[in-house]
Amino acid sequence: MARRLKFLTGLSTLAVAGTLALVGCTGKGEGEGATAAAKGAPAGAGGEGKGEGAAAAPAPILPAGGEGEGGVDFAAAANDPVVFRSALAIAEAHVIAARDAYAAGRKEEAAAMFAHPVGEVLADMEGAFAARGVPSMNELFVDASAGVIADETTEQINTRTAAILAALRAAAEKAPADARSPAAISGGVISDQIDRAADMYRLAGASGDYGHYLDGYGFYKAAEGAYARGRTVIETGNPALAAQIAAALTALGAVYPSAEAPAAINGDVAALSAASSRVMLALGR
């Protein structure tokens, strides 16, 4: 199943719809060591869908995505609270991006963003989740992607999003602990999201690809939300870190005004990278 979940990220919207029954049946992986997602699969690669209206005209290709998930040491997640929670934050970033993209009328991208974490994050986290007693969340993500394909209302998609975010937050409560302070752990997760957002903006500016921009927007919003929840802890435990996080989020907010990309993606990439680096330095990294 893990290989099948990863392959979802390269399928067309109708192919995603046609494989929902396969993915949602158990929510478990098909063994360890699954290969990486197939990128850029052709439209129709998954054959005809099995859902209502699945025999429609040729399906558009989902954006390849997945670029922002690199650099996660999934093997360390069972013992490292920053890695564990950062993986969850990556999934959260995609969900937020999906919700806001759908509200902006970007249906294909929203469907992809809901589906991506299943193959790009959750499949690789199965061992860590099992060790910490975290139940599978796969079905929530897949059902949300199906809801987008089925043209559910924005309110329905918002409800699905809220349910996923609640599940992710509950999973974060089961993260392992180590000798680092709560401020250092929260700051580490936020720093990871800030760095990903800055990097995605660089890629978006170089390529003009909306998928990169949307990834980055999600990482920025995930960092912003994590800081809102952990601000008091970070300000108390490491005021310098809090100041650098706030500055980096302000810089990111200026280049990620919404889920819809601006006409020109030409913000100061060097300034974003520097802001991210200052957060890392404040963390002692």
DSSP secondary structure string, 233-279?
HHHHH-HHHHHHHHHHHHHHHHH--SSSPPS-----HHHHHHHHHHH
Question: In this predicted structure, what is the pLDDT of residue 69?
Answer: 64
Neighbour tally for 260: CB within 10 Å? 15
Model confidence over 132-167: pLDDT tens digits? 999 999 999 999 999 999 999 999 999 999 999 999
Question: In this predicted structure, what is the pLDDT of residue 188?
Answer: 97
Q: Given its phi and psi angles, is residue 264 left (phi above 0), alpha (psi -120 to 50 degrees) or beta?
A: beta
Question: In this predicted structure, what is the pLDDT of residue 72?
Answer: 87
3-state SS record for the chain:
CHHHHHHHHHCCHHHHHHCHHHHHCCCCCCCCCCCCCCCCCCCCCCCCCCCCCCCCCCCCCCCCCCHHHCCCCHHHCCCCHHHHHHHHHHHHHHHHHHHHHHHCCCHHHHHHHHHHHHHHHHCCCHHHHHHHCCCCCHHHHHHHHHHHHCCCCHHHHHHHHHHHHHHHHHHHCCCCCCCCCHHHHHHHHHHHHHHHHHHHHHHHHHHCCHHHHHHHHHHHHHHHHHHHHHHHHHHHHCHHHHHHHHHHHHHHHHHCCCCCCCCCCCCCHHHHHHHHHHHHHHHCC
Neighbour tally for 246: CB within 10 Å? 15
Please give the model's pTM, rounded to 2 decimal places.
Answer: 0.79
Q: Given its phi and psi angles, is residue 189 left (phi above 0), alpha (psi -120 to 50 degrees) or beta?
A: alpha
Q: CB of 272 within 8 A of CB of 251?
A: yes
Mean pLDDT, consecutive 10-residue stretches, the chain (285 aa), reads 38 40 35 30 33 35 46 91 97 98 97 96 96 96 98 98 98 96 97 98 96 98 98 97 98 97 95 98 90
Where do we find the tokens 């903006």?
201
Written as six digits, the tokens of 75 are 């093997």
Domain boundaries, the chain: 1-34+72-178, 179-285
Minimal CA–CA distance to 142: which of 259, 40, 8? 8
Question: Which residue type does 208 have?
Answer: G
Q: CB of 34 within 8 A of CB of 2?
A: yes
The domain made up of 179-285 has a fold known as: Four Helix Bundle (Hemerythrin (Met), subunit A) (1.20.120)
Question: In this predicted structure, what is the pLDDT of residue 41?
Answer: 32
